Amino acid sequence: MTPTPRGLRVLAVDDVPLALAELCRLLRGAPEVEEVVAADDPISALRSIQGGRFDAVFLDISMPGLDGIELASLLAKLSEPPVTVFVTAHDEHAVTAYGIGAVDYLLKPVRAERLSMALAKVVRMAAAGGPATGPQRPEAMAALPVETAGRTRYVRRGDVRFVEANGDYVRLHTPSGVHLVRMPISRLEEYWSDTGFLRVHRGYLVALDAIRELRSDSVGGLLAHTDLGDVPVSRRHARELREQLLLAAQRGDLDGTERGE
């Protein structure tokens, strides 16, 4: 994804018109930038990306319909994903943004000097081959937004022991509590199946490294025991679970260190 000699092709995404216009103005005034395309919602952003390649996406986090964190995770699945820079009014999301691979995190109102620093990082990342080969490639759904009392916080995938289906929602069971997220469990399974989570029941996903032992219930069924409770395992998933636990143990992936134990 090496940029052309004339500069970067950048997509700016924000659902607030004034903020989007100001971001585009700043980007167009930067010497590193050749072209700026504006998108006022995540769906328009996806359409723009489908229509052509971008070196970088400057992305707001809090947007309706599709959260900026989720959009960045979708972009990471591209064969040549753009470098991601988050632009937001909320500094509490910085840790999450860096955790999923953002190269920088800008607070509104964006200053030209701070934008220049971010663009320098983008140029370095793009010249190195972009996030597809770099160490900061965003991971799919590494954090999920949770709405509580009008505020948005993010639950890290690494803190989730197991996931419980609840209609069109899922319940994320973590040491800090149970968090409700609007997403069908089948969709979350698609994102997390390659990150150590296994579907063990029609209504449950479980993190393999959260399982402490397998138990039998009162009627002979199988339970995966975690420090936050037992997860039912259906007969059709029991064999795969045992096989995956064995493989994970052989790789040394069940020592619990990733979950702060």
For residues 39 and 106, state if they share a domain: yes
Report yes or no on 1 lying in a domain: no
Which tens digits make up the pLDDT trace of 85-121? 988 876 655 555 555 567 888 888 898 888 998 898 8
* 137, part of any domain: no
Question: Mean pLDDT of all residues in the chain?
Answer: 82
Q: Are residues 182 and 87 located together in one domain of the fold?
A: no
Of the residues 107, 127, 147, which one is the last residue of a structural domain?
Answer: 127
Q: How many domains does the chain have?
A: 2
Residue 42 lies in a domain: yes
Domain assignment present for 40: yes
Q: Do 84 and 159 have their domain in common?
A: no
The CA distance from 114 to 122, in Å, is 13
Q: Answer positive or negative: Cα dihedral of 107, 108, 114, 117.
A: positive
- pLDDT band at residue 205 using 50, 70 and 90 as cut-offs: very high
Please report whether residue 140 resides in a domain. Answer: no
Clarify whether residues 123 and 78 are in a common domain: yes
Asked whether the beta carbons of 23 and 14 are under 8 A apart, the reply is yes
**Residue among 101, 35, 26 at smallest CA distance from 68:** 101
Among 56, 63, 18, 19, smallest CA distance to 35 is for: 56
Instruction: Determine the Cα angle at 209 with ends 207 and 215, to 5°.
Output: 85
Is residue 26 located within the same domain as residue 122? yes
187 in a domain, yes or no? yes
Q: Are 40 and 12 in contact (CB under 8 A)?
A: no
Q: How confident is the model at residue 254 (pLDDT cuts 50, 70, 90)?
A: low
Task: Specify whether 240 is located in the same domain as 193.
Answer: yes
| pLDDT category of residue 125 using cuts at 50, 70 and 90 | confident
Parent domain of 62: 8-127
Which of 127, 142, 175 is at the close of a domain? 127
Both 188 and 229 in one domain: the answer is: yes
Both 208 and 255 in one domain: the answer is yes
CATH number at residue 78: 3.40.50.2300
**Are 100 and 176 part of one and the same domain?**
no
Higher pLDDT, 17 or 71: 17
In tens, the pLDDT along 13-70 reads 999 999 999 999 999 999 899 999 999 988 899 889 888 889 999 998 888 777 777 7
**Domain at 208, CATH number:** 2.40.50.1020
- Both 123 and 161 in one domain: the answer is no
Same domain, 110 and 19: yes
Final residue in a domain of this structure, among 127, 143, 177: 127
